[in-house]
Amino acid sequence: MNSLSVLSALLLLGFSAQAQLRVSPLAPAAVPATLKRSGRVVQALRYTDRTGTYTVLATEIAPRPDPAAQGSDGQRADLYAYQYPATGAAPTWQVHDFVDDCPLDLEAQFAPKALTVSDLDQDGTAEVWLVYRTTCRGDVSPSTQKIIMYEGPRKYAVRGTSRIAIGNGQHDGGTYTLDAAWAAAPAAFRQHAAQLWQQHRDERMGN
């Protein structure tokens, strides 16, 4: 096989892998009841890549009294994300985060349009991205912010804080760190993670 034929074959494989990714939104009310989950569905989608078809859910449990709290006014809130294969009701992966024993202002919420899917390395296996914040605060301070990404079974995490304005053009927070898994990831993954962080970084107090 000559070099032109090899190049054509590689291009064809790349186009084929990219073409296999199909993503469609799913209304929360249309999520099958057979999918085992906790919380209220706030975002959902369905995608197909070279490994199959999957449903992804983001769910939240609103603040409520925490039975394990040290004081009588402690609250708890949870959020979850799940990915289910087309042929089963049990998830292939699950994310769970929460704030507990909080007597102050409490939040555990996904960002608007927090759930997205890509194939940045064009290998035909989708990357699923989630962005959310958690906080327990009684003052003007940044929230904890995280980006979680799965490519197949591989998990990647970005952890940091939101950025808030504190007056006179000054800001607090907004920094983040990548966990060790990103070191071996394609550069496109790290670039997209940085773009997502910038997109969701700024927090308006009261929002």
pLDDT at 3: 45
- Residue 201's closest CA among 179, 171, 170? 171
pLDDT at 69: 86
User: Which element (helix H / strand E) includes 123?
Assistant: none
pLDDT digits (tens, 9 = 90+) for 20-56: 899 999 999 999 999 999 999 999 999 999 999 999 9
Q: pTM of the predicted model, to two decimals?
A: 0.88
Instruction: For residue 152, count CB atoms less than 10 angstroms from its CB and return exposed for 0-12, middle for 13-18, buried for 19 or more.
Output: middle
Q: Any idea where the domains of the chain sit in the sequence? A: 22-200
Neighbours of 143 (CB within 10 A): 22
- Stretches in the chain below the pLDDT threshold 70: 1-19, 206-207
**38/34 Cα distance (integer angstroms):** 12
pLDDT at 6: 39
pLDDT at 205: 76
β-partners of residue 83 are 56, 93
pLDDT at 206: 61
